Amino acid sequence: MRIGVLALQGDFARHAAALGRCGVEAVEVRRPEELSEVDGLIIPGGESTTLLKLMDEWAFVPALEKFHAAGRPIFGTCAGLIVLAREVESPRQFSLGLIDVTVERNAYGRQRESFEASGTVTLDGRAHPLEMVFIRAPRIRRVGVGVETLAEHHGEPVMARQGSVLVATFHPELTDDPAVHRYFCDVVSRARVAA
């Protein structure tokens, strides 16, 4: 099993390292045709408008839509969540619409308002303690029908899943806990079996 990490911008190296700790081969994806070589994809945090501009320059949007249509899982963290959301606010911007959530950009404030929090995440029906790192994080303001909330912070969803798309407002790659990446690896593994 090989999982790609979109390596256009953001902390893709940390995600690759986290996948390595899970015993999975990570592939840095820089061109759309490289998506055919991976079973799942992580879209890391960074700056969503910059990421979208780079994706547009490299014609990633149709390739990602095809990747999703084939049932291959995608995990977006922070800016990756913004890119995958159905709707984006503050300001409104283009997004892929692959998960039925509405996201508000930078809703927790600027870089200096970044913070860490302890919480609980429900993975495969079991609750796990989880440290969460929020950096210029978006907020999930609406969760659509068919979207499962997996973790909350102060009663607000911070991790969600709809089918093959997983998203988080926080940065799981910045902690030593592999639980979230291991869960995504399991999602990818099950999708491969079902394909």
How far is the first Cα of the chain from the last one, in angstroms, to the nearest whole number?
13
Beta bridge partners of 194: none
Give the pLDDT mean for 55-80: 96
Instruction: Say what the pTM is.
Output: 0.95
Out of 3-17, 43-57, 101-115, which region has the weakest mean confidence (pLDDT)? 101-115
pLDDT digits (tens, 9 = 90+) for 99-133: 999 999 877 766 666 789 999 999 988 999 999 99
Give the pLDDT mean for 175-182: 94
**C-alpha distances out from residue 181 to 3, 60, 89, 163, 178, Å:** 11, 23, 27, 17, 5
Tell me: pLDDT of 36 over 90.
Answer: yes
Question: Could you confirm whether 128 is annotated as catalytic?
Answer: no
Q: How far apart are CA 109 and CA 164, in angstroms?
A: 30
**C-alpha distances out from residue 24 to 3, 27, 50, Å:** 7, 10, 28
Question: Could you confirm whether 171 is annotated as catalytic?
Answer: yes
Question: Could you confirm whether 173 is annotated as catalytic?
Answer: yes
Catalytic member of 15, 153, 171, 181:
171
Catalytic member of 78, 104, 153, 181:
78
Catalytic member of 104, 173, 181, 185:
173
Residue of 108, 92, 99 lying closest to 142 (CA atoms): 99
Give the pLDDT mean for 33-61: 93
Structural domains for the chain: 2-194 (3.40.50.880)
